[in-house]
């Protein structure tokens, strides 16, 4: 994606506000941006974090991050059965956030979102938590982001891969689709979507381990479905209930320039790896919603 | 008179035996851990009416949903006639009446006609069900290691019994109708299917009377036998799926249960002044044996997960959408639920027919010799199955009766990690990364904020809110 649009020649540096500094000045943010470990450390997802911060900065909302005070929510520990480690992490984060009087949190990670929203209240952490797809949808609906002035996605083929922890776990299916619809792109749905969406294969702490012996990796199964959907050959997919998703059916569309949209750092890794495995990385790109919005808005630099 | 006494004895025996069997299931479910599922009656009722009574989730797949709807409606409506059969059986012979509901008049015509049409449709639907399971390439979800031997036979036995019951109903009605015709009497009710079949029966009033009695007794005896077959069968779902849906979780599917005993420990660690509430005691005030973290065996699972096991129809929707199973891993959510039921009946009470699945090398189990040692975890469910789960909730979403295999998987993972430290090595590395770095990867915590370095944006005036 070209990062700049013609008129956006001037650029400014963003100094990301840190919660400790705000507290020292006796200020409180309207919203806390929970970055998450992938958003802070994973090179690919750091680009999503930066895109989202550009949007926050652009709309002028008073936000802050915890910076070095943020720690893993404990999601992977909890899914893997290590309840003790999870609760240690959770209590530590809750102590930090309650100390700052945090009320409202936005995060670009569905796993952090689910954990803080659903599992922190039992441990004393009650916050209004929203996922960035919902937040972006609100910004677009309120007209604060026009998704104009930057790169045009008109006519580009985009398919959205549902994250399990956004979709089935929390019933958020429409917000990411409405964000994509605002791009005026050519949205195509995979056969397994929304509540029937197929996992990318990384949830439940799978991200940190090798898969068990099987016939195929889950991300390959899902990438094949995404590619077949983008190329228009998906109608010929014979058996979505097995491991024979690959199709020889002729493509109706060139894959060139088409996009797999994701809203989760782990889905991002799994789908990107899948596209590379299928040797389509020069044709198909995997982007997070925040990257697409920042790009369309022309605020990347 | 003799027939009435016989019928009364049969009725009492059938319901007595059924109650005795249900008590066993009740007891098995109650070996599970306590879990408070009270409250929210309006929401629970709504859910039960939609999902259990209304079969909402079945309609994710149209063909089986329609076939199932026919059998389900047939069961509900034809059972109205069973009320009549019971009244006739108890009192008809004594007071000399027959078809006691005929006072309903035109309503009775409608009822009998509906019954006959539904019964015919049930036979067709059951034939389709049989074909889906028994053709050379069955519907994929009716295959799998857990669907051999007893579960496979059970599925067919249910279909055969349903056909026999429907045939007996037609036999009874046709013989009755023809007998009335031959005697020149008016037959109460309208029988669209039986009136087509009268030519098949002999034209002798005495024989017809005997045939009608045979059909009548076969139908009601069949129903009583079927009733007592239910507790041994996946078909028990026709009863228990209602309470199962009533007691389903009302929180978001992504929310995993909190382990409160750990919360007390962690709070005490972080704040030395925290007072840990006293451990629960037995009703007589004595201390209870400390419970383990997570689940090794059925009694470690919450009772709702045990009720889940008795609600399972082994339809395999969960396994057919499981990403791990789809890509050839050992995990099958259905197997975990079926193993739970087998294990309960193996260790505690068992119904009349008890044939637990025995898995051989294909499920990577050692042949189990000592059944009592074969705990749910390891004895039936292997760690390899549990670690293949992505916790994606596809199984939970797909279950037509709101069974939650994911909860059982997580409980067993908790036991593996917290009691046995038996997580895969790579996960232990992830755990220590979180402990040491506050992130699941081996990054230095001091680099956590590096993403914000040299962050630039293109200048663009912010838009004022339109709203």
pLDDT single digits (tens) B19-54: 999 999 999 999 999 999 999 999 999 999 999 999
Note whether residue B259 is domain-resident: no
d(CA A152, CA A160): 18
User: Pick from B179, B204, B232: which residue ends a domain?
Assistant: B232
CATH number at residue B371: 1.10.1060.10
Q: Is the pLDDT of residue B406 over 60?
A: yes
* Strand arrangement of the beta sheet that strand A31-34 belongs to: A63-64, A31-34, A104-107, A128-131
| B18 and B117, same domain (yes or no) | yes
User: Does a structural domain hold residue B167?
Assistant: yes
State whether B139 and B23 are in the same domain: yes
Residues 322-341 (B) with a CB less than 8 A from some CB of A: 323-324, 326-331
- What are the CA-CA distances from residue B8 to residues B92, B93, B221 (Å)? 12, 12, 12
Q: How far is CA B175 from CA B90, B180, B187, in A?
A: 21, 9, 11
Hey, are the CB atoms on A144 and B465 less than 8 Å from each other? yes
A14 touches chain B (CB under 8 A): yes
Same domain? B213 vs B338:
no
Chain A contact for B285 (CB, 8 A cutoff)? no
Arithmetic mean of pLDDT, B411-417: 97
Helix (H, G, I), strand (E, B) or coil at A18: strand
B193 shares a domain with B115: yes
* Contact flag A218-B390 (C-beta cutoff 8 Å): yes
The answer to whether residue B65 is domain-embedded is yes
Q: Report the residue from A13, A82, A214 with minimal CB separation from B417.
A: A82
Q: Kindly state whether residue B7 falls inside one of the protein's structural domains.
A: yes
Q: Are residues B205 and B313 in the same domain?
A: no
* Same domain (yes/no): B96, B179: yes
Q: How confident is the model at residue B466 (pLDDT cuts 50, 70, 90)?
A: very low
Cα B53 from Cα B238, distance rounded (Å): 10
Q: pLDDT at residue B254 above 60?
A: yes
The residue among B375 and A3 whose pLDDT is bigger is B375
Total domain count, chain B: 2
Q: Do B430 and A76 touch (CB under 8 A)?
A: yes
Same domain for B158 and B68? yes
Q: Does B142 touch chain A (CB under 8 A)?
A: no
Is A77 close to B266, i.e. CB distance below 8 A?
no
pLDDT tens sequence across B191-225: 999 999 988 988 888 888 898 889 888 888 999 99
B16: contact with A, CB 8 A cutoff = no
* A95 interfaces chain B, CB cutoff of 8 Å: yes
Q: How far, in Å, CA of B393 to CA of A195, rounded?
A: 9
Q: Could you tell me which chain B residue has the CA closest to the CA of A37?
A: B439
Measured in whole angstroms, the distance separating CA B445 from the mean position of its chain's CA atoms is 48
> Does one domain contain both B227 and B366?
no
Distance between CA atoms of residues A114 and B253, nearest Å: 10
The candidate with the shortest Cα–Cα distance to A231, out of A273, A264, A195, A280, is A280
Whether the CB of B421 is below 8 Å from some CB of chain A: the reply is no
Say what the pTM is: 0.93
| Dmax (CA) of chain A | 63
Q: Is residue B262 part of a domain?
A: no
In a domain, residue B136? The reply is: yes
Give the structural domain span for B336: 295-437
**A19 pLDDT above the threshold of 70:** yes
Boundary of a domain, candidates B216, B232, B248? B232
Domains along the sequence of chain A with CATH:
19-137 (3.40.50), 149-297 (no CATH)
């Amino acid at each position: 994606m070209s990062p700049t649009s013609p008129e956006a020649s001037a650029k400014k540096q963003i100094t990301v506000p840190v919660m400790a500094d705000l507290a020292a000045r006796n200020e409180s943010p309207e919203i806390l941006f929970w970055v998450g470990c992938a958003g802070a450390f994973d090179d690919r997802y750091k680009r999503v974090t930066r895109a989202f911060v550009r949007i926050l900065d652009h709309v002028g909302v008073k936000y802050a991050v915890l910076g070095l005070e943020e720690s893993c929510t404990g999601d992977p520990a909890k899914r893997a059965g290590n309840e003790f480690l999870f609760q240690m992490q959770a209590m530590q984060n809750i102590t930090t956030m309650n100390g700052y009087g945090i009320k409202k949190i936005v995060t670009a990670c569905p796993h952090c979102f689910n954990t803080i929203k659903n599992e922190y209240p039992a441990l004393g952490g009650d916050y209004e938590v929203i996922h960035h797809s919902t937040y972006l949808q609100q910004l677009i609906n309120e007209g604060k982001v026009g998704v104009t002035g930057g790169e045009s996605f008109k006519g580009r083929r985009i398919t959205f891969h549902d994250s399990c922890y956004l979709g089935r776990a929390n019933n958020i299916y429409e917000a990411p689709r409405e964000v994509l619809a605002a791009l005026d792109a050519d949205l195509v749905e995979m056969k397994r979507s929304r509540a029937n969406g197929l996992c990318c294969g990384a949830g439940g702490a799978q991200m940190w381990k090798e898969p068990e012996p099987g016939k195929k990796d889950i991300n390959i199964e899902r990438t094949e479905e995404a590619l077949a959907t983008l190329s228009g050959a998906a109608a010929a997919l014979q058996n979505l209930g097995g491991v024979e998703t690959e199709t020889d059916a002729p493509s109706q569309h060139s894959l060139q320039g088409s996009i797999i949209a994701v809203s989760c750092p782990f889905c991002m890794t799994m789908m990107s790896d899948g596209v590379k495995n299928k040797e389509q990385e020069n044709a198909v790109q995997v982007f997070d919603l925040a990257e697409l919005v920042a790009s369309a808005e022309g605020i990347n630099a | 008179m003799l027939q009435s006494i016989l019928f009364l004895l049969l009725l009492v025996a059938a319901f007595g035996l059924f109650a005795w069997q249900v008590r066993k299931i009740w007891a098995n479910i109650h070996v599970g851990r306590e879990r408070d599922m009270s409250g929210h009656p309006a929401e629970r009722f709504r859910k039960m009416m939609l999902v259990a009574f209304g079969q909402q989730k079945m309609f994710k797949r149209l063909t089986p949903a329609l076939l199932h709807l026919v059998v389900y409606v047939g069961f509900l409506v034809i059972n109205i006639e069973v009320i009549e059969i019971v009244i006739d059986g108890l009192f008809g012979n004594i007071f000399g009446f027959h078809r006691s509901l005929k006072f309903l008049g035109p309503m009775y015509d409608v009822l009998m006609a509906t019954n006959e049409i539904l019964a015919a449709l049930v036979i067709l639907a059951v034939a389709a069900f049989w074909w889906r399971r028994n053709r050379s390439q069955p519907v994929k979800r009716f295959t799998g290691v857990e669907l051999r031997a007893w579960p496979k036979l059970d599925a067919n036995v249910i279909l055969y019994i349903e056909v026999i019951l429907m045939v007996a109903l037609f036999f009874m009605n046709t013989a009755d109708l023809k007998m009335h015709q031959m005697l020149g009497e008016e037959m109460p009710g309208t029988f669209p299917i039986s009136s087509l079949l009268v030519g098949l029966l002999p034209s002798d009033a005495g024989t017809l009377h005997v045939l009608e009695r045979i059909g009548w007794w076969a139908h009601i005896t069949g129903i009583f036998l079927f009733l007592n077959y239910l507790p041994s069968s996946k078909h028990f779902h026709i009863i228990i799926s209602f309470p199962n849906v009533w007691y389903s979780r009302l929180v978001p599917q992504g929310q995993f249960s909190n382990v409160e005993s750990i919360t007390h420990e962690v709070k005490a660690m972080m704040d030395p002044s925290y007072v840990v509430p006293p451990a629960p005691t037995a009703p007589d005030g004595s201390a209870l044996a400390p419970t383990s973290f997570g689940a090794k065996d059925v009694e470690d699972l919450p009772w709702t997960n045990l009720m889940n096991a008795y609600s399972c129809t082994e339809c395999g929707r969960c396994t057919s959408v499981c990403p791990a199973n789809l890509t050839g891993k050992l995990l099958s959510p259905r197997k975990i639920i079926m193993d739970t039921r087998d294990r309960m009946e193996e260790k505690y009470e068992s119904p009349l027919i008890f044939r637990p699945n025995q898995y051989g090398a294909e499920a990577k189990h050692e042949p189990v010799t000592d059944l009592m040692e074969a705990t749910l975890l390891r004895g039936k469910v292997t760690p390899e199955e549990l670690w293949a789960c992505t916790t994606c909730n596809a199984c939970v979403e797909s279950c037509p009766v709101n069974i939650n295999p994911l909860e059982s998987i997580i409980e067993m993972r908790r036991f593996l990690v917290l009691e046995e430290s038996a997580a895969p090595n790579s996960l232990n590395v992830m755990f220590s990364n979180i402990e040491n770095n506050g992130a699941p990867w081996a990054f230095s915590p001091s680099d956590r904020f590096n993403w914000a370095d040299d962050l630039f944006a293109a200048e663009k005036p912010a838009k004022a809110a339109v709203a």
